[in-house]
Structure 1
Amino acid sequence: MRGMLAAAIAAAAASVLPAEATAAPAASPLGTWLNPYGSVAVRTGACGDRLCGWIVWASAEAQADAREGGVTGLIGTQLLENYRPTAGGWVGTVFVPDMGRRFYSKIEPVGSDGLRVKGCILHGLVCRSQLWHRVAQPPHA
């Protein structure tokens, strides 16, 4: 379950407006990101005028956790939904497949190759965060 929450949170970090995506600053959330457990990789990109993120690789354990939550095809699942830029990062919704739920999410850049992804309940009063790292390609791809 932690792996999926981490993946979902990480995916959330990947959102930004397409205009910003074109500029691709050093702290851009565009790219492929690996969660801290090394169990899920998420690729971020545009979805309308926002940015979103989709699972492009998942370990066997992460896929089993997702099946328990009712998600049979984890690869291709959209985790990060409708992120928009805000002061110091991006906000949107993260889908956690092993729980089958969506949560408020905030993403903050950490250097040029990291994202601190937060998943929150109670409108941001209780949050959990993880540090995701940029990768050139998903593991075993």
Structure 2
Amino acid sequence: MNGAPMKTLESVLRAALLPLLVGTLTAAAPAMTSRTATPFGHWLNPHGDVEVAVTPCGAMLCGTVVRVGGKALADAAEAGAGQLLGTQLLRDYRRQNDGGWQGEVFVPDMGESFFSRIHQLDPGHLKISGCVLHGLICKSQTWTRQP
């Protein structure tokens, strides 16, 4: 055979698979966007009484309290944490292969720092976990992006 039937089969496959591939990539675009959303910005805790500005710190991520009130202020004062405004709660987070971040979270009302992970659930929500035993036992909160 001179190869003509193979080229025809190749052409048919290419014509059939190209639209399928383009459709698959188009359908996956929203998922790719949520993975590339940035955690940088202002975030409010679930109780609505702590707002943290998350910023780059060199190649790392940090988060500093820019607004505090209500129960968080009372809890910090009771624990002897002193001035909560300006306190760096999120410290030395490094980007991980899964797109999340790993570092330390400072919990003012306990006066301690814990191993922590941050995962961006979608452009408007961060899941922040504080853990003991280097991630074996964790407690998480979902924070909401602020305008």
Q: Secondary structure at 1:103's aligned position in 2?
A: strand
* Offset of residue 72 of structure 1: 1.1
Residues matched between the structures, number = 112
**Following TM superposition, where does structure 1 have runs of at least 4 consecutive aligned residues deviating by more than 2 angstroms?**
46-49
Tell me which residue corresponds to 1:77: 87
User: Structure 1 residue aligned with 2:104, among 72, 93, 116?
Assistant: 93
* Offset of residue 64 of structure 1: 1.5
Write out per-residue CA displacement over residues 42-92 of structure 1, whole angstroms, 9 at most, x where no aligned residue. 001122331100001111321121112221111000000000100230000
TM-score, normalisation: structure 1: 0.75
User: Structure 1 residue aligned with 2:48, among 38, 51, 54?
Assistant: 38
- The CA distance in 1 between the partners of 2:63 and 2:92, in whole Å, is 9
- The CA distance in 1 between the partners of 2:58 and 2:37, in whole Å, is 21
- The CA distance in 2 between the partners of 1:92 and 1:44, in whole Å, is 13
Q: Secondary structure at 1:62's aligned position in 2?
A: helix
CA RMSD of aligned residues (A): 1.3
5+ long unaligned stretches in structure 1: 1-24, 137-141
Tell me which residue corresponds to 1:13: none
Say if 1:75 and 1:92 are closer, same or farther in 2 by CA, change over 3 A.
Answer: same
Question: Which one has a larger percent helix, Structure 1 or Structure 2?
Answer: 2
User: Where do residues 1-141 of structure 1 align in structure 2 (5 Å cutoff)?
Assistant: 26-86=36-96, 87-136=98-147
Greater relative contact order, per chain length (Cα 8 Å cut-off, separation 6+): 1
Structure having the higher Rg: 2
